[in-house]
Amino acid sequence: MDMAEIPVELKRLADFHGHLGPYVLLGYRMGLIARRYFPGKFFATVYTGTEPPVSCLIDGVQFSSGCTWGKGNIAVKEGGKAVARFYDGLRSIEMSPLDTIQTRIDAVSSYESGEKLSLDLHQLSDLEILMIREGGTETSDRIVKL
Ligand SMILES: [Zn+2]
């Protein structure tokens, strides 16, 4: 992969995370959506657990949403699922990859194919890659820090 073909924001994401893959890309896109959705402060819960590759999603969310481990406004739950939930105490939004996208991610068999898929996914609109559900409350929506 020629790095010159990679958009600058994805280069920054790859620098932050260490590489470019479909899960960090999805987390990045989820965080951008949440930033547009909430007018002020918000919180994140991700259901990836801490085993890569699915946990790579956490770094993408941290990079674009501003919800970071250090600020205490992101929580990681076990589950091994590429699901992120965002909430501000008034509204909530939950996102996961479409089944067709998950199937493409599951077919990734090398670092190079993961990077290529990330770039392909980045060309697609939010609704072409993600299922986005608004509303509802979860016990995990309890706001612990401000
Ligand atoms: Zn990764």
By the CB criterion, residues less than 5 angstroms from ion ligand 1 are 21, 24, 56
Structural domains in the chain plus CATH codes: 3-134 (3.30.1330.130)
> What does the alpha-carbon distance between residue 7 and residue 78 come to, in Å, rounded to a whole number?
32
CA of 23 to the centre of ligand 1 (A): 7
Long-range contacts of 2-5 (CB under 8 A, 24+ apart): 5/119
Q: pTM for the complete prediction?
A: 0.92
CA of 76 to the centre of ligand 1 (A): 16
> What does the alpha-carbon distance between residue 142 and residue 140 come to, in Å, rounded to a whole number?
5
CA of 58 to the centre of ligand 1 (A): 9
Give, for all 146 residues of the chain, the pLDDT tens digit: 566 678 999 999 999 999 999 999 999 999 999 999 999 999 999 999 999 999 999 999 999 999 999 999 999 999 999 999 999 999 999 999 999 999 999 999 999 999 999 999 999 999 999 999 998 777 667 665 54
